[in-house]
Structure 1
Amino acid sequence: MSRRVLPGLGLSLGVTLIYLGLIVCLPLGALIFKAASLGPEAYWRIISSPRAVASYQITVLAALVATAVNIVFGLGLAWVITRYRFPGRRLLDAMVDLPFALPTAVAGIALTSLFASNGWLGSTLEAIGVRVVYTPLGIMVAMIFTSLPFVVRTVQPVLEDLDPALEEAALSLGSGDGRIFRKVLLPLLMPALLAGTSLSFARSLGEFGAIIFIAGNQPFYTEITALLAFIRLEEYDYPATAAIASVMLITAFVMLAITNVMQARALRYMERG
């Protein structure tokens, strides 16, 4: 009789599945059930209303811009922390996790104070005609702040584990820094970068606390979907709340599915290479 590698697998798996069902599947199932209770016509009328569509556009566009910024600066930040030694490096590394530890409402208040017309950065930006607070730009800033760590923390371990011999071999063959990064490093970083990108985008879609203070929450201009769902909840319109929330849930699932496919392809490419 062969001995199992992990004793108690059945019990631990059962406990894990029960926990997952209660914490994740049950709330999501309740959300889907409540939205389905509306019926197709009522459901479509709610999610396709002009105000709802405007909130989708604002939320998704801001999340896409924030994610694009995080890809560039998150990768750069992970590169600096991993590849260089300088005074304050450990402090910088610790500050990356600050958005995880800081309550999002506190982050929203801090960003609003910083970028207000009389704030440290806001006064300088408004002097050149750039307004952040109560504009879509403020939404993007809040999303960037709260979702940047996802890119850094998924890419950083891969950078730390890369064999320097790969870069040295490419350098000895006459490749420049740019070519080494594109042809050698980027393919190896791609699965982690895709994972960080998807997590950053999903976090931006669902961000609420950091945005409501800096956005101004004006319908058709700076009202995000999470806020619209919250407004419907305060109106005790639970089916409409579930319908609007289900749209963002479906969007996040589709994004994660696309990312998983892209990750699988990237891994297959690495294995063939």
Structure 2
Amino acid sequence: MTTVVARRVIPGFGLTLGFSVFYLSLLFLLPVAGLLIFTLQMSWQDFWQAISHPQVVASYKLSFGASLAGATINAVFGSLTAWVLVRYRFPGKKVVDALVDLPFALPTAVAGIALVTLYSTTGWVGQYLQVWGIRIAYSEIGVVIALTYIGLPFVVRTVQPVLADFEKELEEASASLGASRFTTIRRVILPALLPALLTGYALAFARALGEYGSVIFISGNLPYRTEITPLLIVAKAEQYDYHGAAAIGVVMLVAAFLLLLLINGLQWWTNKRNGGAL
């Protein structure tokens, strides 16, 4: 009897793990460690003064609030977009599917200019909203629109594969048992989509939190009103206040990490609950 020895095409665990850690260290761990070490050179008083200035606090509120608002909007309408793309056939479906990825391909500065063209008081859409006293450009609403625009693909592309693999027989079984469409969505479809939806929500939030190019054009960069935190970081770096820029960056890093950790914890709890239910 001839013994066949299976050979692994991909290298073993040790080599791949070492390469992965090295790669992640170059891209993420070393820059983050450098930022933290640079910030530790500041005294606590200087650090607190840099991160608690009223102008900086106002930028925190806008950046985190607008990012959460944009991610929440995308969680709703991104899921609906994914549903339409998976469940229905219509003319131009492939075009619509390709347009979802447009924020990935289009430079954010170009997107910002396009949004200003649409929503300024003389823009194609803004001039009609101005009649009703609604101002989009150079306001907090414009910031939310910009962050919603750049975060949409993350929700659609995480929910879409789950919907495509979802068994329609489960919906039919729910309907045969007398459940309404709302009950089927709430008790059958939504629990299956929730982990992917939370992942897309977290990705959209994280992407919006660090957005710069599209926001600076439509926000107007008004201090204490429409000035986002990434803009303040860039402004301090341009003024050679590297410690101040690093301090604000550390606050954004820690806050984003904690929020993403919370969302991932919710995702883990959802997976565990669904697994236990099965």
**TM-score computed with the length of structure 2 as normaliser:** 0.95
Off by >2 Å, runs of 4+ in structure 1 = 1-13
Among 42, 55, 61, the alignment partner of 2:59 is: 55
Q: Describe the superposition over 1:83-139 as per-residue Cα deviations: whole angstroms up to 9, x where unpaired.
A: 100001111011000001111111111111111112111111112111111111110
State the partner residue of 1:168. 172
State the partner residue of 2:228. 224
Q: Does 1:192 align with 2:196?
A: yes
Among 249, 254, 277, the alignment partner of 1:250 is: 254
Q: Describe the superposition over 1:214-261 as per-residue Cα deviations: whole angstroms up to 9, x where unpaired.
A: 100011000000001111000000010000111111111011110111
CA RMSD of aligned residues (A): 1.5
Structure 1 residue 3 displacement after superposition:
7.1
CA distance in 2, matches of 1:269, 1:10: 34
Q: Describe the superposition over 1:27-69 as per-residue Cα deviations: whole angstroms up to 9, x where unpaired.
A: 1111111112112221111101111101001111111111111
Q: Give the match's secondary structure for 2:123.
A: coil
Among 184, 187, 198, the alignment partner of 1:183 is: 187
State the partner residue of 1:19. 23
State the partner residue of 2:118. 114
Unaligned runs of 5+ in 1: none
For 2:67, give the aligned amino acid: A
Identity rate, percent: 48
CA distance in 1, matches of 2:6, 2:261: 37
State the partner residue of 1:129. 133
CA distance in 2, matches of 1:54, 1:246: 17
Q: Does 1:153 align with 2:157?
A: yes
Structure 1 residue 10 displacement after superposition:
2.4
Q: Give the match's secondary structure for 1:130.
A: coil
Structure 1 residue 2 displacement after superposition:
9.6
Aligned length: 273
CA distance in 2, matches of 1:154, 1:234: 37
Q: Give the match's secondary structure for 1:113.
A: helix
CA distance in 1, matches of 2:7, 2:90: 50
Q: Describe the superposition over 1:137-157 as per-residue Cα deviations: whole angstroms up to 9, x where unpaired.
A: 110010000011111111000
